[in-house]
């Protein structure tokens, strides 16, 4: 006999209607929970396969790393993940935007969705002078500000692996900052999250929204909380 709660479980990836065995979860549900927790930890600690990303990308991506010396320090010192490693040299040019693939807290997300998301976005940037793609490891979102400044790019788009959850380990986030430079606040960025088709936002929809935000930012000279996804709502 089918469980009448199966329809509810099938409608969401959230853990609902888990049942009970006495005062606790059924053993099968508890094991599923522990497996999900282990997968989330693996997603945080697995290194980004930079060589595989380079092989998928056209051109010659720039590789950088943050000031964090390794994963342990990256997790313990978020501030170091926002600064380029000492001695990093970037060749400045005249660019409107640079796109950064940053491992963040889920390198798996960048490996699964980074290149496809980047391609969908670049297709919509006609008229933009796009700098060489940058692959950044042990990277937080704000590292993109230093990268943009070093390359002479006015804006930065950071495609970053989001913090894994118990129901998703490969969600990608997009952070856009206009007039990027060191010291920018999070409120001065626009963010799209949970990009992971087919369960989250798709590449095409995310690229269209990001390109629209970028165009409006360039027209108005702002990004962040004063820039809305709907141009009609821009303050």
E-assigned strands of the chain? 62-65, 95-102, 134-137, 153-161, 172-178, 189-195
Q: Are 192 and 201 in contact (CB under 8 A)?
A: yes
CA distance 190 to 210: 9
Distance, in Å, from the CA atom of 210 to the CA atom of 124, rounded to the nearest integer, reads 9
Bond prior to 224 in cis (omega within 30° of 0): no
Interaxial angle between packed helices 203-220 and 115-122, expressed in degrees from 0 to 180 and rounded to the nearest 10:
50
> Could you give the 3-state DSSP secondary structure of residue 176?
strand
Question: According to the annotation, is 162 in a ligand binding site?
Answer: yes
| 17 φψ region: left (φ > 0), alpha (ψ -120 to 50), beta (else) | left
Residues 79 and 123: their CA atoms lie apart, in Å, by 33
13: number of Cβ within 10 Å: 13
3-state secondary structure at position 220: helix
Residues contributing to the annotated binding site: 141, 162, 191
Residues contributing to the annotated binding site for adenosylcob(III)alamin: 141, 162, 191
């Amino acid at each position: 006999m089918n469980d009448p709660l199966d329809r509810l479980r099938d409608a969401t990836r959230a853990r609902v209607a888990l049942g009970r065995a006495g005062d606790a979860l059924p053993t099968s549900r508890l094991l599923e929970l522990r497996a999900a927790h282990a997968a989330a930890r693996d997603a945080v600690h697995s290194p980004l396969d930079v060589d595989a990303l380079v092989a998928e990308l056209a051109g010659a991506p720039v590789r950088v790393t943050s000031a964090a010396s390794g994963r342990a320090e990256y997790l313990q010192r978020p501030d170091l993940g926002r600064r380029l490693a000492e001695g990093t040299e970037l060749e400045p040019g005249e660019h409107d935007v640079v796109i950064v693939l940053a491992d963040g807290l889920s390198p798996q997300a960048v490996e699964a969705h980074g290149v496809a998301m980047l391609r969908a976005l670049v297709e919509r940037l006609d008229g933009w002078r796009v700098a060489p793609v940058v692959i950044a490891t042990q990277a937080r979102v704000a590292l993109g500000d230093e990268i943009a400044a070093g390359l002479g790019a006015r804006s930065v788009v950071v495609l970053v692996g989001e913090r894994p959850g118990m129901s998703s380990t490969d969600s990608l986030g997009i952070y856009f900052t206009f007039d990027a430079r060191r010291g920018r606040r999070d409120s001065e960025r626009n963010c799209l999250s949970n990009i992971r088709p087919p369960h989250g936002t798709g590449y095409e929809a995310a690229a269209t929204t990001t390109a629209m935000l970028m165009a409006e930012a360039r027209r108005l000279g702002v990004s962040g909380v004063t820039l809305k996804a709907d141009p009609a709502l821009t303050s």
